[in-house]
Structure 1
Amino acid sequence: MALFTAIAGAIGAVATAVSGFIGTALAAGGIGAFALKTAVGIGLNLLAQAIAGKPKAPTFSINGTLQSGGDLPRSFILGRTATAGSLVWVNTWGKDGDTPNGYLTQVIAISDLPVKSLDELWVNGEKCTIDYERPHADGRGYPVTEYKKGSSDSLWVRFYDGAQTAADSFLSATASNAQRSWSANRVGRGVAYAIVTARVSKKMFSSIPNFKFVVSGIPLYDITKDSTAGGSGTHRLSDPSTWGGDGDDLPAVQAYNLLHGLTFNGQWFYGLQNIAAARLPADNWIAAINKCRAPIAGASGNEPTYRSAGEIQIDAPLASALEAINTACQGRIAEVGGVYTMFVGAPDAPVASFTDDDILSTEEQSFTPFFGLADTINGISANYPSPEDGWAAKTAPPLYRTDLEALHGNRRLMADVPLDFVPYAEQVQRLMKSALEEGQRARRHTLVLPPQFWSYAVPGAILAWTSARNGYDAKLFRVDGVSDKANLDVMIDITEVDPSDFDWDTNTDFEVPVDGTVGPMRPAPQPIVDWFAEKWALKDDNGAPTRAAIRLTWDNSDGRLDGIDGVEYEVRLASDLSHVTGGRTDQPEAGSMVVSQGIVGLTTYGVRGRYIRDSGEDVLWSDWLPVTTDDIRQTDVTAYLSGVGQDVYATLQQLRADHDDLRARLEMIAAGSADATGASIDVHTVARRFQDATAIAMREMTASIEAKTRVYRQATAPTGDLADGDIWIDTDDGNKVRVWNATSSTWEDAGAKGLLTFAQDAPPTASNVGDLWVDTNDNSRLYRWDGTAWVDVSDARITAQASILDAVQAAVGNVSADGLRKIEVTAGAGDVVARLTDMVRATVDDAWVEAGTVTEVGFTGGDPLQPFARMLFVAGQFVFTDGTNDFLPVVIEDGEIKLAIANIGTVTAGVIKSPDDKFVITLSSGKLEWFD
């Protein structure tokens, strides 16, 4: 019976060639020429078949979308191709920092028979790189390079080829939970599958990622490599461990294995069953395989003439699968008496020849000299899976023949052929050209030959015919149909062929396809625009330069800073490239900023900058710009001791804030409407009131021991037991540092106070003193840079504090006077501070005047610890007296410090000048200048 073609069985005793696949039925009895022609039909090639509108068979296009559901048919991979696979299991699990369900793991089946290897991974349409040098410790697999941000990976993959004998331990021990478990007996024997784990990150994935896996398919038996079956090599049909090689990509090898039947562990899986080796004659199949393997010159060098690859679902009829494979090689398969033979590509040498005299003139004959219009083609287009386009279906450059269009009444008659099994651009065009040329061979005969031709009348065989009547001189014909007569005569249906139809010149025939852009359209890292650095100077109220600085500028025009949250800069010494300073501004719209910290005169620096985007888009550092500062001699102590000056200024600001807070508390006490004790251990107050006059005295004593550094890593601020000064790392906001202010019950941005964080595998080798580093790979431990090394401050930041505050206030109407004395001491790991504060203030309406002193001593962090001792004076005039004589040597007027009197022995100075700058003595250079 006809095994693959229904039409042959319907007609009767016919051997037919239909499209690219030949099926046969042999029986006693005769069949007419018309019936034989009808059985063979017009579909002698793919083009005519497409024109004829033959019912579509199952398609074998690339499975580009992840399949899911329990009713999916099993499938397997032939050759090298891509598939999205089918979803087997999915779960969310674990924590990313403090974010629950921070990871998504999917198990995706790729093939239900073992494959050779995973060759490529495509994620969201982009070909990606798997870093096999960095396996994750928990067994989730290997990171995908394109989904690494800084030191953090966001995607991992692990692949099993189907030879596994145990369940994956990562799935059962780590990714499982009570709702969705992966038991230890879920081995997936024989199933090639991938485990993909993604870290939930909106900056990396806008949705669940989709994948395509490019694999080299199942290892196949190649008879040409079996020295016991007529070939040469170590392949053995009975030993699958010997299978595999370049033949896995050849259509004839694939067809041979499907006809022989695919098994797993001795159990039938797909194809024919229990077929004897004799039914696949070795000489025929070796010839077909070698014809596929034969090298042909291509644009990139020699390549096999025919290759094929695709995914076959086991619910597809075997005939459809073989037809798809045959399409890749212009192949035909014949079955005669249960024996299967294959013919590939260009016609072979003729197996026999005959003349007009050999034809039985007493039997009926028919001749078709040309196609009808419905069967005529003069152009062809083809669709194929394109690896260069992310394995999406692509249309090859159409092939037009204007000369044929003219012959066909200026009509364009196109055929469209699906080449789902041909992911090779040049092979697709070779098939198109040969098919179009072959499709012009319209001469077709049905005739009867005597019994001596019976053994040669095999569908697919080539005969040579010399005919004076038709003008043939050893013209080649292909046998497309055969019917045995009762008297052993044989009726054949033959079609003209020409080996030149398969000629190919890659230099003239191949049209290089235009490959499209694939993958996510990631914007290029954004550089800072019009970044510029220039020397600058800080000036006093008279406009005189007092300190060297650097001015940074960038483009802040309308629209330029859309999506920009800040500007970051770094400054280094040009001489040794050592780090000097760095920082950021959160006001990029200003377009400029001045940097003076650590900057000295007559020095060359390198400066670079970049944008800050909290949304996570990549930005680029600018080039290092050189800038040399002017030779500016610093003329005041604060300029010389910039770091100390900043500390003193901060102390003064805090002192005034404490004073304001104290006055507010005293006023509430006077009003009798406030709790003045706060968290103090002991508070004594005395208050007197008469009409609109109040007099208050208060003593407050406190003592506490606190853990000053607590590290939290979560998306929302902690709300539990919080102590003043606790640190919180906001990992969802660019690893910003927040500090808890117990007074205002708010989190303050510590970044504004000069604290920074670094989240990376190794801390930076240098930074600003006091910078913080959060080691996210070590339980979020906290380190601080002390100027020479990173110091672990995660556990040892216990601080003891004690203070005594004496405060008094007297007020009548809109005038008041108040004063405070405060002694406070702090001792902690690396920091020891003792401070004595005296402060007085007088107020009339909104005007006020104050004076006081702050005395500080202590040690700051480092190894060794750095001692300091200083006094801060808040006063406009300094008066000295011995009880008899009073002097006012120092006053502050108009923002300047002035010496009212001086009796100085030795003066060391850089510049001496008059207030109007008309008389200048530059002592360092010995210059004396006088200006009118």
Structure 2
Amino acid sequence: MPFIAPAIAAIGAAVTGIASFVGGLGVVGQALLGIGLNFAVNALRGDQQQQAVTGTQLQVQYGADRPREIAVGLVAVAGHDVYTNTYGPSNKYMQKVFVLSDFPVTALTRIAVNGEWRTINWGNVEGRGAQVTGFDGDVLRIRFYDGRHTALQAAEFGEHGLVGSSNPAGRWTAEHVGKSTAFVVINARFDDEEMASLPQFLFEFQGAPLYDPRKDTTSGGAGAHRWNDVATWEYSENPIVQAYNYERGFFANGQLLVGKGVPEIDLPAAPWMSAANVCDESTPTRAFRYRAGALFSTSDGVTHSDNLAPVLEACSGGLFYLVDGDHPIVGANQPVVATLTDDDIIVGSPRQFRAKRRSDLVNTVFGTYNSPDDLWAATSYDPRSSAEALAADRERHAKALNFGAVFLASQASDLAEAALRRARYQASETIIVRPRWIVLEPGDWISLASARYGTRTYQVVGRSLGALNANGARNVTLTLDEVGNGIYDSSIVIPERPVRIAPAFPVRLSTLQGFLAYASQVTSESGRALPAITVQWDLIDDVTVDSVLIEYWKSDDPTRRIQANFERASVTGVVAEGLVPRTSYTLQGTVVTNPPRNTFFSAPQIVTTLTEDLAAELADLQEDIQEILRFGPESLGKLEELLEGLAATIATTNVVQHSEAESASAAIIEERTTRATETEALARRTDGVVATLTDVETKVTGTAQAVTTLEGRVTSAEGTVTAAASAVTAATARIDNAEGVALGAASAVNSLSATVTQNTSSITAQAALINGVQATVDGVSANGLFSVDAIAGDGIGSVRMALFARVNDSVGYVDSGLYIDVTGGVGTVLIQANRFIVTDGSASTYPFVIQGGVVKLAIARFQQLVSDNGKMVIDGSGGTISIYD
């Protein structure tokens, strides 16, 4: 078929690579195919995004430039499409070859065809392969190669085989073996009723056979497993066994394909066996405590930590790097290995204790796992929440926890529950103890009895050995996080420590708090709708306040003012006297006190009254509201552009002072630019500092920089004169791992700009301010900014302000903002939020919610509701409903 010839030609090299795989490339060739080629191409493209490592690959992959992937445990993939061939009368048959894993696998369990699971009838095998059930006709067959083969099946040389039916002949030969590669051959027969087009496939299979040191007699276990004989290995869903094999590395023909390549001596058998045994323990709902399935990848930007993270998350585990090698720890209560008291702490040494860490509070956990019943899509497990924790924290602190290697809903829920309960152990300490406690290692659980802080159970999360000082020699610094048996035992009640709240002091008001005004309507006795303005303020608790005074006037005539008084107990009122439709009014409010004292009016509110047709007036506002809502995200984009611009600026300015050590550097930089021509006058000044330090042991690099740029520019071109000034200050800090991937970054920016432009017919002036902060860790970013933009010209002016916040995570993003806008003589205050809560400090309520674009009252107390046309009146005080013709 000519139309697929280019694709087949491009795949030919890949098929040849599959055929020889590791047999004929040699050492250099194998390294290039496995690592060097992919990394080089991706680096040149510069557009690769790091992909999360999971147990699924639901999109078909194409092309030869694909990273190696090795499957462990139960997984599902759409496969890597490497070959397409049609043959037979009228090209009625089509062959497709999909690579499943770049290492042998154990078994192909089932296949999904067009979103529906089908079984494979391995008892019905003929030249085209095993029958895929669920079709009336014999239209779909499959052949499976688990990667442990050394030659093609005999069927490949027959009428329907890859070699026998290649079109033209020779596109697939006996040399295309695919040794050590797991792949499937799909053979479809086109049929108008059953197979009019090639369907979409999803393959579920059991991943690589794995070495288990518990089953190796030579490593202290019991069994026939041997590291140097893959034929003795077995399929395993145990996440610790999977992690062990990744640590040792997956090899083919002596070459490391995926993994660390850690020698056996650096992986002590005892802790690995113990951790694997914990994973195999049963629970009340499962035969095994922890199971996992993952695709280990060599994709550009994917680190060893990225590959191991989902597997270790599947067992609530981690790795500790100790003197004798890497040690795993899994999610289970640990024995207390030592008991310390105040006598073990060096007298006079610094001691840090925190009973509660507000920045780490979590009382709700939600997220996803890979659901085989839902075609391995990321599916939500039951969210976990603690009523006791919510009460203690006084607000909801939710965290998304997605399990990329978990395929059991009950396991995902248990892991989320354990994570939530672990977060409720809030205490932490840093202590310096006597040298005898050097025996404690990271991961150990200890008991610390303190006369001041009580007795608590801690996990050692950090340990360092001190030098000789006034307190002695070789003292040990321990960093401790509180733990307890309540993490994995829900019957244990974890004591909560409520947030401390300072006592309140009496407040004497000098003005109205929370004063707002907005246009409304009232109905006259004749039923006519008249313009009105509703005013509201915060509830007044000050007993010295007698009443509320509201003063208002036409915005263009401040000499004629009208006053209205309202009771102190109320929180809202309506003014209608003297108002006319479609007119701008200015309102301000204050309090009247007894005994009298100095008070002042609140900030003025500007309101334009409505027409007699309220519905038409509200419809006219829709477009303005949408425009205002775009201002916050647009300002956030400007903030990121400022950060990128300053980063480029600091990289090109002159260094005037520089200090450098082997792993650290510090520099002071500055730039001075002046230019004066017939059409331009420019003055620019940039000052900055940069400091960088790399930790010798971890290779973690921290960078901190601050830069200020001042610029003034006046230009003249084609009768237009523009004067512009700007001042931008930024502070940024980040920490990168050894591979250069950012572990965390934080930035703060202040930008001021002013521009005036004069042409032959008009003058325009614009001033803008942006204050913004941004923090990013592990793909989660939090942004906050305050932005003001003011424009004047051609007899009109406008001001737009935004107080805007956004948090991005793996689920999506959440926005919240307060917008203030004055355009065309109309003032607008707009709030964007998922929840709108009113509180007096002790009690809170949700006055209304918005669902599907409809405002719904959760609870409301009213005196009178009047319909827009005045024909329906609901009297909340008298309890009557009146309807007029």
Normalising by structure 2, what TM-score? 0.47
Rg larger in 1 or in 2?
Answer: 1
What's the TM-score once normalised by structure 1's chain length?
Answer: 0.45
* Greater relative contact order, per chain length (Cα 8 Å cut-off, separation 6+): 1
